[in-house]
Amino acid sequence: MNNTKTLLQFIFDCNSNKCNRRTFKSDNCKKEQKQECCYKRWIKEQELKQQKIQKEIQDRKEKHQKFLNGEIDLEYEVDDAYEEFRKQVWIRDCGAFDGIVKHKDWKKYCRIWNILTDTEKKYFDNNYSEVAFINENLDVCHIQERSSHPEMKYTVDNAVICGRMFHSRLDAYTSPVYARSITKEERNRWFENAKRGERK
C-alpha cells in the first residue's frame, strides 16, 4: 500500500506534533494507547483511499475498453460555449479551425504524437497500425479533468488537441504508446507537455 508508515514512524510523528490523520490535537495525542488507536484508524483510512483510487482506475479502464469496442462514445455537452472553447483550442494548437475534427493525417494535428520520440513513434506504428485510425478523431482533451475541476471545463489553457485513442488511453491512466498503467500525475504531465510542445 502506498505511503504506509510503521507504527514507530506514526508515533514519532505524533510526538513531533505532526498529525497524519489531520484531526484535533490534544494532550492525549502523546499517550501510547491513543497513538496505537489512531494508527489503526489511519491504516484503515489509507486502505479505503487506495480502494477508491483502484476502483476509479478500473472504471476508467472498463470505459476505455467499451469505447474501443464501439459500445460507447465520448460524451460532450455541445453548446455555444463549448463550440467557442473548442474553436479556440484548435486555433492555438493547429493554427485554424474549419469545423472538421476527423483527419486521416491526424499526426499533423495530434499534440501527443508531436512530442513522442522517434522510438515511441516507431513502436506505435509497428504495434497499433490496425487501430491507429481511431486517432483520426481529434478530441479537445482536458488536462485537469472535468469531473474534479468542472470550473475549468471551458478554460482554453486547460485543454489540448490529441487523437482519440491517445485521449482514451490517458484518461484510463494508461501510457498512450506502451499501454502500461500510469499515475494521475503522469497522465496530467503528458497533456501538459503536449500543450507545451516538448517533453519535460
Three-state secondary structure call for residue 176: coil
Residue 67's pLDDT is what? Answer: 62
Q: Check: CB of residue 89 under 8 Å from CB of residue 140.
A: yes
* 198 contact partners, CB below 8 Å, separation of at least 6: 115
The reported pTM is 0.65
Residue 1's pLDDT is what? Answer: 43
Q: Check: CB of residue 180 under 8 Å from CB of residue 174.
A: yes
Q: Which residue has the cell 462514445?
A: 73
User: 10-residue block means of pLDDT along the chain (200 residues)?
Assistant: 73 84 78 87 85 76 65 59 92 92 94 96 93 92 90 94 94 92 94 92
- Largest pairwise CA distance in the chain: 68
Q: Which residue has the cell 515511441?
A: 120
For residue 166, give the C-alpha cell: 491517445
